[in-house]
Amino acid sequence: MGVLLVVVLGVGLFTNIGTKKGQSGPPHAGGAVPSFSAQRLNGSGDVDVPGDGGSNGKPAVLMFFGNWCTICHTELPPIAAAVRAQDASGGALSNVRVIGVDSEDSLSTAKGFIQRSGVTFPVAYDQNLKITNGDFYFTGDPYAVFVNGNGTIKKIVGGPMSVATFTSYERELTPSGS
């Protein structure tokens, strides 16, 4: 029995079983962002993130959160407000596409949470953790993935983040840094 367990673990560790085609292990800074498509919670259709970060060559930020996450209740509303202000201003940061991923919530709970939090950017529904755990290897929330316009990951941040930190990392994605 022990030998079988060692063989199974060895195969899993030393092969690409469980990883997407072209992906070798967890996403990391400098690597490609995993692509995904999921039902959109706030609006119709799906949220699609292709290999270019989901922005047709524009930088993007993927925000991972859920109603069950206590940190997310304090972190998400001010970040959502900052994103709305950036979009309204039309400045350089309005060119950074923000995409949310709500994990582990029921459909009604997820929709209520993003509405109460003031989220207007597209949010993908990830009830079964296919994206959060499967594609990104994240355990728990919150996480933020900052993606360059070419689809490479600039930075992954786990845990709480202030609006100032969020905005600073967004600026790193823009050509002019403004």
| 30 is a domain residue | yes
Map residue 52 onto helix, strand or coil: coil
Instruction: Tell me if 72 is assigned to some domain.
Output: yes
CATH classification at residue 42: 3.40.30.10
Look at residue 45 in the predicted model and tell me its pLDDT: 93
* Secondary structure of 55-111 in HEC code, one letter for each residue: CCCCCEEEEEECCCCHHHHHHHHHHHHHHHHHHHHCCHHHHCEEEEEEECCCHHHHH
Q: Per the domain annotation, does 6 fall within a domain?
A: no
pLDDT of residue 120: 96
Task: Determine the structural domain holding residue 93 and report its residue range.
Answer: 26-171
- CA pseudo-torsion sign 42, 45, 48, 54: negative
Q: What pLDDT was estimated at residue 23? A: 56
Q: In angstroms, rounded to a whole number, what is the distance separating the alpha carbons of residues 66 and 36?
A: 18
Counting the structural domains of the chain, the total is: 1
Q: Is residue 11 part of a domain?
A: no
Residue 108 lies in a domain: yes
Is there a domain that residue 101 lies in?
A: yes
Output the tens digit of pLDDT for each of the chain's 178 residues. Answer: 443 333 333 334 333 334 444 556 899 999 999 999 999 999 999 998 876 665 577 899 999 999 999 999 999 999 999 999 999 999 889 999 999 999 999 999 999 999 999 999 999 999 999 999 999 999 989 999 999 999 999 999 999 999 999 999 999 998 775 5
Residue 20 belongs to some domain of the structure: no
**Which pLDDT score is estimated for 25?**
85
| 77 falls within a domain | yes
